[in-house]
Amino acid sequence: MVKITYIEHDGTQHQIDAEVGTTVMNAALDNLVPGIDADCGGECSCATCHVMVDKTWMPKVGSPSDAEESMLDLNPERVENSRLSCQIPVTDELDGLVVNLPEFQF
């Protein structure tokens, strides 16, 4: 189990325990963290699981693939540390990860 903290737009924090092997998106849904829709169910095809990764974690989380980039790119509120959380696998390395949730999903 690794700890992940989701911070809502209004500052509300949700710290949860996630199993290694799931995704940051699924861990949020499984623990009823609000603010992630995941309309496509984890297929990198809807961009409704957008998160902003805490900048200190970006080196460990890494950058988006081309497919993810093409979806993120259409979001007018996309920022430098934007990622689709369905494309971030939970690994031991990410224990303590912090991600911020956007005000709106698209």
Partner 1 sequence: MAEATTPLMVDLDPATVPLEDIDVSQRELWSQNKKYPFFKRLRDEAPVHYCKDSEFGPYWSVTRFEDIMEVEQNWQSFSSDPTIVIQDPEEDFELPMFIAMDPPKHDEQRKTVQGVVAPRNLQNLEGTIRSRVQTILDDLPVGEQFNWVDRVSIELTTQMLATLFDFPFEDRRKLTRWSDVATGGPETGIVESEEQRREELYECLEYFTRLWQEREGTEEGIDLISMLAHGDATKNMDPQEYLGNLVLLIVGGNDTTRNSITGGVIALNENPGEYAKLRNNPKVIPNMVSEIIRWVTPLAHMRRTAVKDYVLNGQQIKAGDKLVMWYASGNRDERAIDRPDEFIIDRARARQHLSFGFGIHRCMGNRLAEMQLRILWEEIQKRFHKIEMVGEPERIPSNFVHGFSDLQVVLHPH
CA atoms within 13 Å, Cβ hemisphere of 29: 15
Residue (77 or 93) nearer to partner 1, CB: 77
The residue type found at 18 is: A
Tell me the C-alpha distance between 37 and 104, whole Å: 10
Instruction: Give 56: exposed, middle or buried? Use CB within 10 Å, 0-12, 13-18, 19+.
Output: exposed
CB 85 within 8 A of CB 4: no
Among residues 34, 70, 79, 89, the one that binds partner 1 under rule CB under 8 A:
70
Instruction: Tell me the closest approach of the beta carbon of residue 85 to partner 1, in angstroms.
Output: 15
Stretch that binds partner 1, among 4-12, 42-50, 54-62, 88-96 (CB under 8 A): 42-50
Which positions from 22 to 41 touch partner 1 by CB under 8 A, shown as an x/- string? ---------------xxxxx
Closest CA to 4 of 77, 88, 87, 104: 88
Stretch that binds partner 1, among 3-11, 16-24, 43-51, 88-96 (CB under 8 A): 43-51
Which residues sit at the interface with partner 1, rule CB under 8 A?
A: 37-41, 43-48, 67, 70-71, 73-74, 76-77, 103-106
